[in-house]
Structures are given as structure tokens and as C-alpha cells.
Amino acid sequence: MKSVFNYQVSDRLPFREWVPSHVQIRQYAEASGDFNPIHLNDNYARKVGLGGVIAHGMLTMAQMAALLTEWIGNEGRISKLDVRFEQVVSPGDKITFSGSIKARSEKVIVCDIEACNHKGDKVLLGLAHIMQK
């Protein structure tokens, strides 16, 4: 397997797929303490203009962080993760996380990162900084 710090500018990161479930969203609410009804109550979520419950943005961001940490392994650490949530993520959506190397130095890699749903809509965009250990 190619060392993370051998990646060059424009190289693609591996991708990761995720399909959030109602159970996982409930578990995240319990772990985070975020019990906003848009995440847990379909009727309430519809009443406020959503198609039903949606995943927490931070749960989606955590899945992106999982892609990065799996890719990095023991070679480095995420030193900065900046994301912007573009679209809501619903239970059952197939989300694909990916990225590419934007810039690099001897000890730091900067990655453009994104997540898209099965319709091709970007749901998350951002930058990750990876520091060598």
C-alpha cells in the first residue's frame, strides 16, 4: 500500500461509502446529546419543511474523518478539518466520501474533501490538513 506521505498534488484519496440509518442517527443523538427533533421525529421534520428526519451534520463530518483516519493509519494525524454542509443527509442516502491532494510539504498534506449523495449532489465540502507524526 502506498504511503500517505508519498501522495502528490492531484492524487486521489481512497473513497468511503456510508448509508446512514435511523438507528445510527438515534445513537449519535444519544452520544452527542443533540436531541433536536429534526433528527428523531419524522412528523416534526416534515412539519418544518424537511422530507423527514435528517442526519446530524457532525455525524456526516465524522464519517469523513473516518475516511481520513483509515487512509492515514499510523503515519500522521488530522490537524485541521474545515467543512461546509451543502445539503441535508437523510436515512438511506448512499453517501460517497472522497478527496484529492491540494498541496503538500514535507510534513503536511492539504486535501480537498467532499461527500456526495447517490443523486450526485454535494452534501459536504471542505479541507483537511494531515500532519506527519
Radius of gyration of the chain (CA): 16
pTM of the model: 0.94
Domain ranges of the chain: 4-20+55-132
Q: What is the assigned CATH class of domain 4-20+55-132? A: alpha beta
Reading the chain (133 residues) residue by residue, the pLDDT tens digits are 688 999 999 999 999 999 999 999 999 999 999 999 999 999 999 999 999 999 999 999 999 999 999 999 999 999 999 999 999 999 999 999 999 999 999 999 999 999 999 999 999 999 999 999 9
Q: Which three cell numbers stand for residue 117?
A: 449523495
